[in-house]
Structure 1
């Protein structure tokens, strides 16, 4: 519970530098509008996931349910702050804010424990680890202080969110095991994380195998938080090997 308390009570950072988009080269400004709109959509979806985790946690048959719900409420606050940053950036760029898109709903055959395990394993551990890895690459490439400061806020929080997923996954697996049995529980998580990882491979790594990726290279200067697709692809594989696979392996689940 101490680690949960540290997650909930950790300090929050806010942007202190005003955005200056007038100095952006036209190609960089165009790329920024596209990428920051995508980030806005992702963060909007993360708010919805956090809200569902709060509601699910409160309904779970666990003595830790209330503590989990409190952690997810902090998660929601983080994600709303991220949305606000993306809206600020898009406004400065003169770009529209995308309409929120619904996340995948609870499946008819899915128990509450299955939904919780899926959201913790996929929504937190996998997706937030990949996001953190991508933001680490973006921070390194972003040489404009105002944009770099905002990306660094994302990075700090996404690292904490991925660690929250790894922290809560053993408890989610225990609940799922009590619900459907050990064999089905592990098979369920293996299947769900595997399918989501393949979808991220398609979206983030463009279905390119790690061995076929081009080497990473220096990104353009005057950078408002935009990187080439190959940089994102390298970050995806780095997250799988360094964060996701070890967390699953510790529970006896292989990421295939």
Structure 2
């Protein structure tokens, strides 16, 4: 989502919540009414920046979803002489946004998931998969410079390797064709989140030390946007993506 009328930094500030309300589903922006879509702890929170207006028998309602780069507009005229209530229509559109979120996940998988192989002969490899549950990408295998980084991470986090949930998520750090992803680790068997609507893994990003593989750089094709290679920040090797 971008604006051609104001600077990129001003656009980012403009498309931000500035306050919450007593309703967990609603926030306040400048000048937006913000709808928080999603199941909170169990999913991403998708902010929809909305604005509505009325004039006589006419009503309008539009919304922007910066995360999806999509939006909607509803215009109506009511023959009764009073403006129609468009909230019900907006709810229907919100359901469509959830479908767009699923399409975005499928598109991201096509861009980034796959098998990556090193050229050094050290057996370097990475397997990046789309999860069947939750969000981000699962790092199913990761050997760089001859070191099994999943095993190293599990040891540092005091997690049994088979219980390590190693995922990477995109950041907003992009330079040219390079896109930075950040890793989040969780113990699948840990009782802290068992049967509770919490998500605290974000508090632990970067807490395992500088030698842990927690930042990944995808280098993409300038034309198609498809990932061509993967490197781990602080490691020498670059892994090339195999054919899909």
Which band: TM-score by shorter chain? Answer: under 0.3
Larger radius of gyration: 2
Normalising to structure 1: TM-score of the pair?
0.23
TM-score of the superposed pair, with normalisation by structure 2: 0.23
Between 1 and 2, higher relative CO (CA 8 Å, sep ≥ 6) is seen in 1
